[in-house]
Structure 1
Amino acid sequence: MTQSSIAPDTAATSPVRLQAVAAEGQPDVTPALEELYRGFEKELLVPLWTEIGDLMPAHPRSRAVPHLWRWNKLRELAARAGDLVPVGRGGERRAIALANPSLGGRPFATPTLWAAIQYLMPGEDAPEHRHTQHAFRFVVEGEGVWTVVGRDPVAMRRGDFLPQAGWNWHAHHNATAEPMAWIDGLDIPFQYVTESQFFEFGRDDISDAERITPSRSRSERLWGHPGLRPVSAGTPGPGSPLLAYRWEHTDRALADQLALEAEGFDGTVEHGHAAVRFSDPATGADVLPTLRAEMHRVASGTETAPVRETGSSVYQVFDGSGTVTVGDTSWSVTRGDLFAVPSWQPFSVRSEAGTSDSDSGALDLFRFSDAPVFEALRLDRTQVEGNPR
């Protein structure tokens, strides 16, 4: 006894759709070619000669577009969410992600980077959890929230950069009578597309011992001494063991670079443009395996040279004002504004800051990018004013 079944018409249900086109470099359109293409569709095959222009373009063509998000609008909407949206289990965090307009409504600022404004009301706790996504917090205004990473309470204040490598338990608590907002950056889109992410709930409540508000966290007391590594430290894990990079140190480093330039010495990226990169004190590498973070200071009246880079970036204006140009798009920006720079789009900025809108009198920009991924894969490339480097 034998059994037989009729297979569905694969060609009719195939997601592959091929069209013979009369064009230079393409085969002649004939009934035989059409029949060949139907066979490809049935067997879920795609010939390279129909796709090479899209799969192998002459230069990167990002799916993302340059876009600007105004801080005053984000802050207003986050405050309204604070009145309406709980922060406990289920939602986990009152975080509102930036959605690049060309990425189909996904909560991604670029194809590899997540950026969000997070908002915590007075006395609130964001419950403990952990995830494989690498993350950081950057504070453009306010203070009063402590992030608790591995049961180590870490103060969050204006200008502070707080990295947190993946798979570390973390929670937040607001110890003051005022709400606080900051930005989160994560590699969620990268881990999403590579299908590598894990997530786990932790405790619903942090202990009284973790509700203390020390001026320095344990990580800072151990790792926060310039050029000094504790002998007791073993093999470091992925990501920086230092959980807070304080603004006073970043500010001083940028100011010193511009001062050295004024004295005729090297130290700046280009004339009037100082920059520092946050690094892992254990290894000297980037603070996180998939994310690079930097602070840039552009002196008033300075215009930076247009730069193209593979990979994408998100910037936030920390202080001052200026004009930002990404590709063919330009915006006037002020404190808190965020903008996306897609892969291989030329980027430049002109500082229009002054003492009335900037503590430093310059335009200060916080930047994070996916550069470590591209460098690890040897796919990094930079071009300044048409000259590759």
Structure 2
Amino acid sequence: MHQLGTLEDLPQEYRDQLTQKNLVPLWPNMRAVLPPRVPTRKTGTLCWDYQTIRPLLLEAGQLTPMEKAERRVLVLANPGHGLSNMQATPSIYMGLQLILPGETAPNHRHTPNAVRIIVEGEGAFTTVDGEPCRMERGDLILTPAGKWHEHHHEGEGPIVWLDVLDLPLIYQLEGSWAMEGQPQVPSLARDKSFADYSAAGVVPNINFERDTQTAPMLRYPWQKTRACLVEMATHYAEGLLRISYVNPENGKSLFPSIGFGAIMLRPGEVISLPRRTTPCIFHVVEGQGSLSVDQGTALQWVEKDTLSAPGYSDITFSNTNSEAPAFLITADESPLHQYLGIY
């Protein structure tokens, strides 16, 4: 591509007139917003080390009571997007949320979609539109846009989970808002939606129309996901072991904006992921290893760490344990990219 004219090529008087009229010349900026072949990427390769974050999160529990926080969260912000913008990727927000024994994060609902990936702790549950959902290590708990949800901790010790929301997207669309509500009175059996949909290939006979844009199953237990990956490994001696979390009624992604999945790395395995347009998030449920992007410096990771990698990149994972597999949960913007026709 040939060089275009710059802003400095234009007389200052002309530029001042444009500014006064809220106008901007395109040609000096066009290469920045439409670069050749590969887009400008702000999402950096990063590892949020849980063991160094955890003391800060627990200290937040001492410094800020729940009534002063509503949601006690430390946001995992990717510096390329600006820390104050609270973005892990262009359209994904992540945060580590803490609840202490006996606490309740009060009932509210909001326009962004949210998933909770449980990091540590036992004895807590999330109530979503009247359905209590258990929260156990590695589980995915869905709180789709507009659904009432509150969190309760009846166990011992802290419970921590990773929030994953499409908040940056909804905020930029000027559609982000929240509403507080009264405490919920559970009206459904615990994990009812999981019981309804947990048998693969079988769905309940629902005699009413429902919104199929969001998944009807609210809890995706990690033990079932893990068992699926382990079973796959017995049938495939090589190649990427990867599954997707989907809406059991239509096979589509859990949300139209964020796709979720899980990866298993065989003991000692080194594998490259397919090159894709979307940046990606990885949360380590089990194991240890390294991540390198475009053959750059490898980042070391262990269980409970969370990583990010930009799109349009070659991503390589290594399981540094030669005796045990590693498992990671993934989140990316693939449904949004597919809808927009840029995937």
TM-score over 0.5 (shorter chain)? yes
Residue 386 of structure 1: aligned partner? none
> Structure 1 residues 224 and 108 mapped into 2: Cα distance closer, same or farther (>3 Å)?
same
Residue 230 of structure 1: aligned partner? 204
- 8 Å contact 1:137–1:185 — kept in the other structure? yes
What's the CA shift string for 1:214-272, capped at 9, x where partnerless?
A: 7x51212222222112112533323111011112211121012111113xxxxxxxx34
> Structure 1 residues 148 and 53 mapped into 2: Cα distance closer, same or farther (>3 Å)?
same
Residue 325 of structure 1: aligned partner? 292
Instruction: State the TM-score, normalizing by the size of structure 1.
Output: 0.81
Letter of the 2:201 partner, please give it.
G
* CA apart distance, 1:354: 4.5
Letter of the 1:350 partner, please give it.
S
- 8 Å contact 2:7–2:28 — kept in the other structure? no
Instruction: State the TM-score, normalizing by the size of structure 2.
Output: 0.91
Residue 126 of structure 1: aligned partner? 105
Q: Secondary structure at the match of 1:53?
A: helix
> Structure 1 residues 137 and 306 mapped into 2: Cα distance closer, same or farther (>3 Å)?
closer
- 8 Å contact 1:121–1:179 — kept in the other structure? yes
Letter of the 1:218 partner, please give it.
K
Q: Secondary structure at the match of 1:153?
A: strand
Q: Secondary structure at the match of 1:140?
A: strand
- 8 Å contact 1:163–1:288 — kept in the other structure? no
Residue 362 of structure 1: aligned partner? 325
- 8 Å contact 2:4–2:28 — kept in the other structure? no
Q: Secondary structure at the match of 1:353?
A: coil
Matched, 1:313 2:280: yes
Q: Secondary structure at the match of 1:304?
A: strand
What's the CA shift string for 1:282-328, capped at 9, x where partnerless?
A: 11100112111100001122222254322222111111111101243
My pick for the range that moved more, 332-341 or 302-311, is 302-311
Matched, 1:347 2:315: yes
> Structure 1 residues 312 and 235 mapped into 2: Cα distance closer, same or farther (>3 Å)?
farther
Identify unmatched segments of 5+ residues in structure 2: none
* CA apart distance, 1:152: 0.8
Letter of the 2:158 partner, please give it.
P
Residue 305 of structure 2: aligned partner? 337
Matched, 1:69 2:32: no
Aligned equivalent of 1:178, options 147, 153, 157: 157
Identity %: 27
* CA apart distance, 1:45: 2.1
What's the CA shift string for 1:63-114, capped at 9, x where partnerless?
A: 22221110112222111112221123x5211121111122222222122111
Matched, 1:373 2:316: no
Matched, 1:39 2:26: no
Residue 267 of structure 2: aligned partner? 300
Aligned equivalent of 2:128, options 134, 137, 149: 149
Alignment coverage as a number of residue pairs: 338
Q: Equivalent residues in 2 for 1:237-256 (5 A)? A: 237=211, 238-256=213-231
What's the CA shift string for 1:29-65, capped at 9, x where partnerless?
A: 87x8555434333322222221111011111111222
Identify unmatched segments of 5+ residues in structure 1: 1-22, 263-270, 356-360, 381-389
> Structure 1 residues 72 and 38 mapped into 2: Cα distance closer, same or farther (>3 Å)?
same
- 8 Å contact 2:112–2:176 — kept in the other structure? yes
Letter of the 1:344 partner, please give it.
Y
> Structure 1 residues 260 and 202 mapped into 2: Cα distance closer, same or farther (>3 Å)?
same
Q: Secondary structure at the match of 1:118?
A: strand
Structure of higher CA gyration radius: 1
